[in-house]
Amino acid sequence: MSDSSIDIFDVLSNETRRRILEILAEEPAYLNQLTREIRVSQQAILKHLEYLQERGIIKSFIVRGEGGTPPKKYYEIDDSVLLLSELAKSLLDRSALRDGGVASEGELKLQVDPSSEKRKLEEIGSLDTEQRIRALREYVCSLEDTLERISAAYYALTQLKIQALNMARRTLREKFESAEDRRMLYRAITMDDDELREYFREMIENQREWVQRVFNEMKEIFGEEY
């Protein structure tokens, strides 16, 4: 990210910027594509793109044209911003740690049982005062060590998730020309079954024919039982 200070509330206070980030969170896009989808003037979109790029939130790259067509400048969210976003989600939703976690970047063998840790604390509570103080110090240091290893593992796995999502975007661009088709299939990769079913229920009410066509493509890719 750039050295410019980022006021996230200012970034998200503008509806057009929010729409740009929503689209780029799913796949890179070029200026004309964003203009068509958001239905705002090209000049306005370009102004917001420059604003986001100056703050290191998005970055751009050039794709050479085929068959004599001119090159296109694509925009995408910076990986560091995606990483911070994923880590922020974990802070807001601690459910990822409720059922235990894994350790460092190595073999990830550590399993955490909160119920067992709670029992240890209850046992400490039954000790006499001096024993309890010593035991609490050892217990807190042990938890801190475990939390550090879990955090390191979460950070490493989040980086792998970002790489996987980037690979998904590139792969979908290789196979599908339609941005709408790519976004639908991207959601199939990133959403769990319940989220995807709800998304399809909402979409099929308005775009039944298109949704059915994309759903058939998904069945070809993921299997008939999908």
**What pLDDT does residue 4 have?**
45
CB 68 within 8 A of CB 18: no
Q: What CATH number corresponds to the domain at position 2?
A: 1.10.10.10
Q: How far apart are CA 38 and CA 128, in angstroms?
A: 67
User: Would residue 214 count as lying in a domain?
Assistant: no
CA torsion, ordered 194, 195, 201, 202, to nearest 10 deg: 160
Task: Look at the chain and report how many structural domains it folds into.
Answer: 1
**Is pLDDT at 37 greater than 80 in this prediction?**
yes
User: Would residue 107 count as lying in a domain?
Assistant: no
**What pLDDT does residue 16 have?**
92
User: Would residue 49 count as lying in a domain?
Assistant: yes
Residues of the chain above pLDDT 70, percent? 79
pLDDT tens track for 47-69: 999 999 998 889 999 988 777 78
**What pLDDT does residue 123 have?**
94
User: Would residue 21 count as lying in a domain?
Assistant: yes
The H or E element that residue 216 is part of is helix 208-222
pLDDT tens track for 80-122: 777 666 655 655 454 444 444 443 444 555 567 888 889 999 9
User: Would residue 114 count as lying in a domain?
Assistant: no
**What pLDDT does residue 46 have?**
95
Q: How far apart are CA 215 and CA 199, in angstroms?
A: 12
Give the C-alpha distances (Å, rounded to integers) separating 116 from 10, 65, 120, 123, 125: 44, 59, 6, 11, 14
pLDDT tens track for 171-220: 888 888 887 778 778 878 888 888 778 877 776 666 667 667 777 888 88
74 versus 104: which is more confidently predicted? Answer: 74
User: Would residue 40 count as lying in a domain?
Assistant: yes
**Is pLDDT at 225 greater than 70 in this prediction?**
no
18 versus 203: which is more confidently predicted? Answer: 18
**What pLDDT does residue 92 have?**
46
**What pLDDT does residue 3 have?**
43
User: Would residue 104 count as lying in a domain?
Assistant: no
Expressed as residue numbers, the domain containing 21 is: 1-77
CA torsion, ordered 204, 206, 212, 217, to nearest 10 deg: -100
User: Would residue 63 count as lying in a domain?
Assistant: yes
Instruction: For the full predicted model, state whether its pTM sits above 0.85.
Output: no
